[in-house]
Structure formats: structure tokens, C-alpha cells
């Protein structure tokens, strides 16, 4: 029997919207050609790719020519960093933060083993950056400043517009990773002033396996994945047509939802967060209350391990996580919480709940009903042995 699930892990991935399934389906069943083919059955698809490109561009107020489709947010992040280094070979320093997603920091750690210099800027206990330190850390050989917009574990938002302005003053390229932002924050690359920006379709109700990199016009771009001349020579590989069409449709939905949905999600998240903090002794939030994504909360439960909480939540049909899905299973405490000076014990006892457009009041009520008992049970077990 199919078990009812209560999905509170929308920062890991999101349910594909029925509208998106409807838009992409014909490209799996009927129009499955290769857009680079010379005959009509194939090359007719190019138009659909361009329509999707226009929709994704509109989501961030970019020009469609500034959008390069990739396979995921990870590839977009890797590509931006790689391009900045290889297009400016004399510049061998990357300035990033200690709380980036693994797709940034693991790649930067790898680059550090290859002779590049990498600075991981610290954050304070609320998860905030010191912009004066950021400015001071830019060096003559800095190829790129790469800072995420919204943290996937805590939801904490960095002031990207100010960071991009600092970079412009210092004549350094600026990349941001707002993979968690679409449909939650208004995104405008012209206002932000960044040179590169990463997106991932599966965070906005499209399928996995498709992403995009915004590359500002006139910024030198060195392709990361090379092969055929797809994406105007900027990303080799036969296009994931159905995925890209889905991404375009999801971008339209995210834009349409932007007016009311963030307010609704914020109210739900706040009800959930306030309820947990009120009902469960020894619970406290990780990270600043604001500015923060409207859908994310990260909560520490004193004296407990997240693993046990997540197991019992799972038994109640509730999906949540202890941090990034990409690092789940790792025994190390979250690098994000550790960078915020959380003790290892606190970090290990923290869970992330991230809401999405399909969460309802009733689901929040269900979670609020289940969680106090789960925590009590675990604490009772701990004391009673």
C-alpha cells in the first residue's frame, strides 16, 4: 500500500508540478528527436529550447542569450568557478564562504589541492558574513568571489547586491548560487549585478538533471563540459530537451507564484517553528531569524541526535533531513552549523524542515502533533536507557 507522506524536505528536492509534467511529456513520447539534427523532426525542437530559455531568463530578468543550460546546480557552480580560473589563468585565488553547498566547497577544496589558493570566509553564530572582511580578503589575483544567496541548511540570506557592488569596485568577477531562491525571492540579475548565477530545476518543481548558469553578457566564459557546439559552444552534450522544457514551465510557475506564495509559506513556516519552540523544551533555532528564506527552519534539540529524530519522523511518514541531502549519511556534523560555531553535539542534534508549495496547514498541524511525542520518547529512552 502506498504510504501517505508528509514532505518537509523541499530544499532537498521538490515534487514535479503536474503542469510541468504536462509540458514536458510530449518531449518524451512524441517529440524525442535531437535538436541538432538537420531534418525537421529534430530541429523543430530548437524553438522549444529557446522558449524555455526565455522563461528561465525571465525568472531572473536576464537576456535569454545569457542562459546556458547545464545538467544541475552542481555543474553550474563548478562551471562558473572553473571558467573564472581558466579564462584568467594568472588569477589563481577563489574567495568563497565556509557555508557553501558541497557543489561549491568540495570543488574549491579540490582546487586547493591543485595549487589554487582558496579563502573560505567565516560566518558569525547567526550565519552572517562580515562584508568588510570579504572586501579585505579580495586579492590582486582573485579570479572570482563565489557566495551563495540563501543557505540551503538554515535559509540565511546573504546580501548579494552589496557583495556584487564590492566586487565591481574591486574589478573582480562575482558568482552567486541562489539555487534555493526561485519562487521564494524575487531575482533580478540586473539589480544584483553579479556576473554568474546558478540555478537547478529540481528545486522549483521540475525534474532532476537540468540546471542553468547565467553568464552576464561580455563576461569571458570558458566552457567546462566540451563536446558538440550545443548552447552556442558554451556547454557540450545533447540537450535534455524534456528537462529543459520542464524547467521553462517551472520558471513560469515560480514567477506566477511569487506574489502570494512566499507569504503563505512564511506563515506556515513560522507557525511550525514557533510551535516547535513553544511545545518542545530544549529546542532552539539555528541561524538568524531574518533575513531568511520564507520556507526554511533549522532547529537544534538539546541532548539528542538528529538521526533518531529523523527515524521516528520517517516512521510517522514525515520526510525531513539533518542538513544538505548531498551530505546526508556523513557522520561529520554539518559544516554549515560548525562554521556558525555550533558545538558538534548541537550540530548533530539539529534537523532542517523546508516547506514548499504543496504543504498545507493540516500537514503542519500533523507535524506539530507528532514531533513533541517523538522528542519525549527519545529523551525518555535516553534517561531510562
Residue nearest to ligand PLP according to CB distances in the complex = 73
End-to-end CA distance of the chain: 34
Q: What is the C-alpha separation between 333 and 303, in angstroms, rounded? A: 14
Smallest gap, in angstroms, from Cβ of residue 73 to ligand PLP? 3
**Residue 82 neighbours by CB distance under 10 Å:** 18
User: Which residues, including other chains, have CB under 8 Å from residue 13's CB and lie 6 or more apart?
Assistant: 202, 203, 208, 325
Q: What is the C-alpha separation between 355 and 273, in angstroms, rounded? A: 11
Q: What is the C-alpha separation between 13 and 354, in angstroms, rounded? A: 10
Smallest gap, in angstroms, from Cβ of residue 344 to ligand PLP? 23
Nearer to ligand PLP, 304 or 347 (CB): 347
Helix axes 45-59, 241-257, angle to 10 degrees: 30
Q: What is the C-alpha separation between 108 and 116, in angstroms, rounded? A: 9
Nearer to ligand PLP, 11 or 55 (CB): 11
Q: Which residues are catalytic?
A: 326
Nearer to ligand PLP, 79 or 103 (CB): 103
Nearer to ligand PLP, 213 or 304 (CB): 213
Smallest gap, in angstroms, from Cβ of residue 178 to ligand PLP? 8
Q: What is the C-alpha separation between 99 and 113, in angstroms, rounded? A: 19
The residues binding ligand PLP (CB under 6 A) are 11, 72-74, 77, 101, 103, 148, 152, 177, 179-180, 200, 202, 211, 324, 326
Amino acid at each position: 500500500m502506498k504510504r501517505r507522506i508528509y514532505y518537509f524536505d523541499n530544499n532537498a528536492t521538490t515534487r514535479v508540478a503536474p503542469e510541468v509534467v504536462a509540458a514536458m511529456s510530449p518531449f518524451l513520447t512524441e517529440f524525442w528527436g535531437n535538436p541538432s539534427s538537420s531534418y525537421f523532426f529534430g530541429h523543430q525542437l530548437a524553438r522549444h529550447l529557446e522558449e524555455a530559455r526565455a522563461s528561465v531568463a525571465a525568472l531572473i530578468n536576464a537576456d535569454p542569450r545569457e542562459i546556458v543550460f547545464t545538467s544541475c546546480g552542481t555543474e553550474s557552480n563548478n562551471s562558473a568557478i572553473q571558467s573564472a580560473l581558466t579564462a584568467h589563468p594568472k588569477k589563481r585565488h577563489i574567495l568563497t564562504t565556509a557555508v557553501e553547498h558541497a557543489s561549491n566547497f568540495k570543488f574549491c577544496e579540490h582546487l586547493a589541492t591543485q595549487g589554487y589558493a582558496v579563502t573560505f570566509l567565516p560566518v558569525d553564530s547567526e550565519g552572517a558574513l562580515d562584508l568588510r572582511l570579504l572586501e579585505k580578503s579580495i586579492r590582486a589575483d582573485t579570479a572570482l568571489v563565489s557566495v551563495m544567496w540563501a543557505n540551503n541548511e538554515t535559509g540565511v540570506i546573504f546580501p548579494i547586491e552589496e557583495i556584487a557592488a564590492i566586487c565591481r569596485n574591486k574589478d573582480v568577477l562575482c558568482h552567486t548560487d541562489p539555487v534555493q531562491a526561485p519562487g521564494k525571492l524575487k531575482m533580478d540579475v540586473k539589480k544584483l549585478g553579479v556576473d554568474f548565477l546558478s540555478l537547478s530545476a529540481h528545486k522549483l518543481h521540475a525534474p532532476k538533471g537540468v540546471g542553468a548558469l547565467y553568464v552576464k553578457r561580455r563576461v569571458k566564459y570558458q566552457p567546462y563540459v566540451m563536446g558538440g557546439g550545443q548552447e552556442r559552444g558554451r556547454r557540450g552534450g545533447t540537450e535534455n530537451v524534456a528537462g529543459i522544457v520542464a524547467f521553462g514551465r517551472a520558471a513560469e510557475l515560480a514567477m506566477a507564484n511569487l506574489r502570494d506564495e512566499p507569504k503563505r509559506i512564511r506563515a506556515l513556516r513560522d507557525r511550525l517553528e514557533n510551535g516547535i519552540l513553544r511545545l518542545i523544551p530544549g529546542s532552539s533555532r539555528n541561524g538568524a531569524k531574518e533575513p531568511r528564506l520564507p520556507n526554511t527552519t533549522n532547529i537544534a534539540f538539546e541532548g539528542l541526535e538528529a538521526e533518531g529524530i529523523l527515524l521516528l519522523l520517517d516512521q510517522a511518514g514525515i520526510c525531513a533531513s539533518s542538513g544538505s541531502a548531498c551530505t546526508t549519511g556523513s557522520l561529520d556534523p554539518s559544516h554549515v552549523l560548525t562554521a556558525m560555531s555550533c558545538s558538534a553535539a548541537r550540530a548533530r542534534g539539529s534537523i532542517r524542515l523546508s516547506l514548499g508549495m504543496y504543504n498545507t496547514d493540516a500537514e503542519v498541524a500533523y507535524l506539530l502533533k507528532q514531533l513533541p511525542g517523538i522528542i519525549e520518547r527519545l529523551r525518555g529512552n535516553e534517561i531510562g536507557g
